[in-house]
Amino acid sequence: MSSQELADFLRRRRESLRPEDVRAEAVLPPGRRARRTPGLRREEVAALAQMSVSYYERLERARAPRPSPQVLSALATALQLTEAERDHLARLAGQVLPTEHGGTPQDVPAEARELLGRLDGIPAYIVNDRQDIVAWNAAAAALITDFSRLTPDERNLTRISTRLRGTLCTGAPGSESGFSKQVAAQLRAASVLHPSDNVLAELVNEFAAHDLDFASSWRKHAVRPIPSVRKNLHHPTLGELEIDRQTLSLPGSGFSFVMYTAEAGSPSAAALKSL
């Protein structure tokens, strides 16, 4: 169990909830005194979760023993966590066994590789949970960069983003807030599954140093999935493009399938078909 991470996650979710978000007058009666801090108070969360204030305070101070599944369920309901946040809470509390190997699975599902080749004019690639690009099609290489010329360490989504930022070829995922939050959520979830992955930790530190939106989302434990991000980019030969970055998780694996599409009939869609 990561007591400090669990404590930080609980505190940040508590502070993000407003009293008006919680409809429980018996717990949060009207006319209460003015608030000097954001969000709910610890005693209010404890009341909503039907646990003692002292125990909840120990959780937020990283001094409590591992909470039971029942306690976690009560906290998740009190804090109005999404399904992704509930999973994250369980992993932080040690209720889901993390993956202790140093890396991520290297065998990309055969059907996913086959789909890459079938997509005509749709840039697509596959990433593992470290955001390493492990497979791609020709359209993705034409839109973003020639992945075959990169070393395996360089062939990482966050590193490509950092390397191409500020150049004319901004076909790689840029520093837009949506993309940064999306990657932060994916890497945050991966870090709990792979607590011993030093390479992953290096990637997080590296990207956080270059992207304030990523750093902010990482500190806030933003783990809610963002499946689609609208991007405006400039390609050196295709010009200005408005495209959507769609991310689909591949069930039963640590891989995600990423596609770049554009609105049907738009100039951007026609440009993508020419790749």
User: Which domains are seen in the chain, by residue range?
Assistant: 3-92 (1.10.260.40), 110-273 (3.30.450.180)
Q: Name the percent of the chain lying above pLDDT 90.
A: 31
pLDDT > 70: percent of the chain: 85
In whole angstroms, give the CA distance from residue 35 to residue 31.
11
pLDDT at 80: 92
Region 237-256: mean pLDDT is 86
Long-range own/partner contacts, residues 201-205 (CB < 8 A, 24 or more apart)? 203/130, 203/131, 203/156, 203/158, 203/159
**Confidence grade of residue 83 (pLDDT, cut at 50, 70, 90):** confident
CB 173 within 8 A of CB 157: yes
pLDDT at 173: 42
| Res 174 pLDDT > 50 | no
Residue among 119, 111, 156 at smallest CA distance from 134: 156
The pLDDT of 231-251, averaged and rounded, is 86
The pLDDT of residue 1 is: 58
Model confidence at 169, pLDDT cuts 50, 70, 90, reads very low
For tokens 């689909």, the residue is 248
Q: Can you tell me the mean pLDDT for 10-15?
A: 92
Q: Based on the number of CB atoms within 10 Å of its own CB, is 75 exposed (0-12), middle (13-18) or buried (19 or more)?
A: buried
Minimum mean pLDDT among 92-101, 110-119, 185-194, 265-274: which range?
92-101
pLDDT digits (tens, 9 = 90+) for 113-152: 999 989 877 999 999 988 999 999 999 999 988 999 999 8
CA quadruple 90, 93, 97, 99: dihedral sign: positive
Backbone angles phi, psi at 271, to 5 degrees: -65, -40
Average pLDDT of span 146-173:
72
